[in-house]
Amino acid sequence: MSRLAQALSQSEFVVTSELIPPKGIDLEPLFMKADALIKW
């Protein structure tokens, strides 16, 4: 069972997000945004 499914089944508060990849080959901006969400 995924962490999301487990949290939902236990009625825990969850946060989800959607990150849209940048145009081009440099993924660093995407990784920086994802890192900012880790604590959630």
- What is the distance between the alpha carbons of residues 3 and 40, in angstroms, rounded to a whole number? 13
Residue 22's pLDDT is what? 86
* In the predicted structure, residue 1 carries a pLDDT above the cut 80: yes
- What is the distance between the alpha carbons of residues 5 and 34, in angstroms, rounded to a whole number? 20
Contact 20, 14 (CB under 8 A): no
Residue 5's pLDDT is what? 96
What does the block give as tokens for 23? 């145009």
Residue 38's pLDDT is what? 86
Residue 32's pLDDT is what? 93
Residue 40's pLDDT is what? 72
Torsion over CA: 6, 19, 40, 36 (sign) = positive
Residue 26's pLDDT is what? 94
- What is the distance between the alpha carbons of residues 31 and 5, in angstroms, rounded to a whole number? 24
pLDDT tens digit sequence for 4-39: 999 999 999 999 999 998 899 999 999 999 999 888
